[in-house]
Every structure is written in C-alpha cells, then in structure tokens.
Structure 1
Amino acid sequence: MNTATIFSSLQRISDAYNHKLQSISDAQFQATPAIGGWSYSEVYAHIFDASLLSLQALEDCLNGKGKDKPTAFAVKLILFFGALPPGRYKIPKQLEGRAKVITKKEAQDLIGQFEKQLEAGYKQIPRARDNVKSKHPRLGYLSARQWFRFTEVHLKHHLKQLHRIEKSFAQ
C-alpha cells in the first residue's frame, strides 16, 4: 500500500465528488431517485461523515488508542484489490442515524473538512505502527494505513452509487 498513491487517488476522488456536486441542481440534490434509496444529499452526508470518522479512527491508531488485533484475511483482500465485493450494503447500525438530508452548502463544507483532515492524516502516516488498530463496524480491526486505504475504497464505492442515481434521474 503506497500511501502517496492512495493520497493522490483520494484527492482525485474528492475532486470528482466536488465536480458532481456542482452539476446537480438544488432540488435534484435532495430528491429521492426513481430507483429508490438515498438521494444525492444523503449519499454526500453519509460518505463524508463516514470518511471523517475513518480519518478519526486513523488518528486514534496514530495516538495509540487502538488494540493489537489481527485483520481478517477477507478484509486484507478488499484492501489489496481496492474494492468492496459486488452488491448493496446496509449502513452499519452505529451510523444509521447519521445519514440525513443536507444542503449542497453543507455537502461542500463536509468535503472541505474531509480534505483538510485527509492532508493532516496523510502527513502523520509515516509514524503509524501497523500493530495498533481500531475497530471498523463491519470489517474488524484496521491499522492507520488500512483505514487510509479503506477511505479510498469506500469513497470509490459511493461514487458508483452517485452514477446510479444520475442514471435514474436521466430516465
């Protein structure tokens, strides 16, 4: 896992979310798509809230607030290949109440917070110890480097969701 490559990828993905946000009308941003599921607004609220939480977990690992636990082999495969297995996933119970309808301005602010925290976290990764891990709600224990990679995987996953929503509105 090359953290510089992941950092560059995360910056490009964040730019893609920003670009997409600018192309969506205010009304469409908060509308439920014809295919059902989350609106653009709820996706943005979830993904950047969850990404900020992931960066906090990364920080916890850096500050020694984690545990020395193994990472499951299946999770290592997800991180290696950089993608979640195909399918739709339910939001973990711990995050259920956090996905909400927000405005485009709130989404822009979340992206800005994420980008600021991302840069701060990236600069600290060289001092990370791989045996200090904090718990992900579904994937188990992840080290700081693994949290960094997971953030990329998760953001890419939801970018695909935005494309599905876009197609739904186009029909």
Structure 2
Amino acid sequence: MQANEIQSALEKSVEYYKKSLLEYSPEQFVTKPNDEEWSIGQMYEHVCMSALYFFYKRVTYCLEQRKGQIGGDKNIYGEKQFKYNSFPPTKLKIPDALKGPEPVAQEQHIYLNLLDQIVAEGKILAERIPLDTGEYKCLQPAFGWLDAHEWFWLNEQHFRHHLLQKARIDTFLDIAKN
C-alpha cells in the first residue's frame, strides 16, 4: 500500500471511531468488562496515544534518521504482519516486560480532538514518506526493524485491530450495532 492509501484507510477507521464515540454514556465509557480487560475509554486512550507518541514518533525518527539504524530486517512476525496487512484476528496479550502503565481514560470529547490530530499529522507524514529511501529503520519489539512507511502502515493496522476489542466491549455494554 502507498502512503496515501494507508492514510485514506486510516481516515475511514478514525471516522468510525469518532462516530462510535458518541454512542457511549459517560458511565459506559469507563466500565470495564472485568479486571483483566480495558474499558472502551482505555481503548480509545491506547489507540490515540499509541498513534501520536509511538507510531508517528517512529515514523518521524526514521524520516529524520535518528534513534535507529541504517538497515535491519523484520522478523518472521513482522513479515507476516505486512504480508497479511493485519494483526492476527485474535486477542493479543502484551508480554509483561513490554507493558506500560494501564491507560487512563480521559473525557470523551477529548478523543474527538485527538482523532482529528491523528488524521492531520498523518496527512503530513503521508506526504513525506514517499520521499524517504526506506533505508533507515527503528526497532519494533514484536516485528523487528521497520522503516517509516512500515511504521505508518502499522499504525493503520493497529486502529483496525482494536475494532475487534471494541466489538467485544460493545457486546458487553450491549451497544446496538449500526
């Protein structure tokens, strides 16, 4: 996929996230299905913060050739990730060694602004990525060495992957499907 196609796909996912955001009451937004799972608000926090402060930062690092290296390969999981353009359609568990603190949900209206910011920053990056040679890479712990284009694409895949989690939480909350 080209960067502009990735951006278009991301924008479709973001529009769905924005539309869905309005379906939750403030109580539903912070209700966890159980102690092991996140609330829908925590999921929104995760996808937004991951995009802005993990994926987009790595895209920028690659474009600016810092905090990485020239060359490097994806591992077998990274190869499969991009071959199938998707995370596995299963519930994934982050290893304890890679876990950060549990996300804390903010008020719902904040995510409308953050999602708009993700789209706006994505447009800027989508214009820069085609000018990159793809030689400079940053390490992704699960997938190996990724270039700017791959980091950008992984963000879009990440948004789609969390739609599975959203569907599970929506079922728990008994949110009607449109």
Change (3 A) 1:34 1:95: closer
Give TM-score scaled by structure 1 length. Answer: 0.90
Give the Cα–Cα distance (whole angstroms) in 2 for the partners of residues 120 and 130 of structure 1.
17
- Mapped contact 2:79–2:143 kept (Cα < 8 A): no
Structure 1 unpaired stretches of 5+:
none
Matches within 5 A, 1:73-152: 73-91=76-94, 93-94=97-98, 96-97=100-101, 99-152=103-156
The CA deviation string for residues 49-72 of structure 1, in whole angstroms up to 9 with x for no partner, is 111120110011001113121122
Q: Which residue of 1 aligns with 2:164?
A: 160
Give the Cα–Cα distance (whole angstroms) in 2 for the partners of residues 95 and 118 of structure 1.
25
Q: Which residue of 1 aligns with 2:11?
A: 11
Give the Cα–Cα distance (whole angstroms) in 1 for the partners of residues 37 and 48 of structure 2.
18
Give the Cα–Cα distance (whole angstroms) in 2 for the partners of residues 143 and 137 of structure 1.
14
The CA deviation string for residues 37-84 of structure 1, in whole angstroms up to 9 with x for no partner, is 110100000011111120110011001113121122431221121111
Q: Runs (4+) of structure 1 moved beyond 6 Å?
A: none
Give the Cα–Cα distance (whole angstroms) in 1 for the partners of residues 99 and 61 of structure 2.
18
Give the Cα–Cα distance (whole angstroms) in 2 for the partners of residues 44 and 91 of structure 1.
17
Give the Cα–Cα distance (whole angstroms) in 2 for the partners of residues 97 and 108 of structure 1.
23
- Mapped contact 1:132–1:143 kept (Cα < 8 A): yes
Report the secondary structure of 2:100's partner residue.
Answer: helix
Give the Cα–Cα distance (whole angstroms) in 1 for the partners of residues 161 and 172 of structure 2.
17
TM-fit CA distance, 1:100: 1.6
Paired-residue identity, %: 25
- Say what the alpha-carbon RMSD is for the aligned residues: 2.0
Give the Cα–Cα distance (whole angstroms) in 1 for the partners of residues 14 and 39 of structure 2.
18
Equivalent residues, number: 171
Give 2:59's aligned amino acid: L
Change (3 A) 1:98 1:170: closer
The 10-residue stretch of structure 1 (72-81 or 28-37) with the greater mean CA deviation from structure 2:
28-37
Q: Which residue of 2 aligns with 1:33?
A: 33
The structure whose residues are more often helix, as a share, is 1
Give TM-score scaled by structure 2 length. Answer: 0.87
Give the Cα–Cα distance (whole angstroms) in 1 for the partners of residues 12 and 160 of structure 2.
10
Give the Cα–Cα distance (whole angstroms) in 2 for the partners of residues 100 and 140 of structure 1.
28
- Mapped contact 1:75–1:139 kept (Cα < 8 A): yes
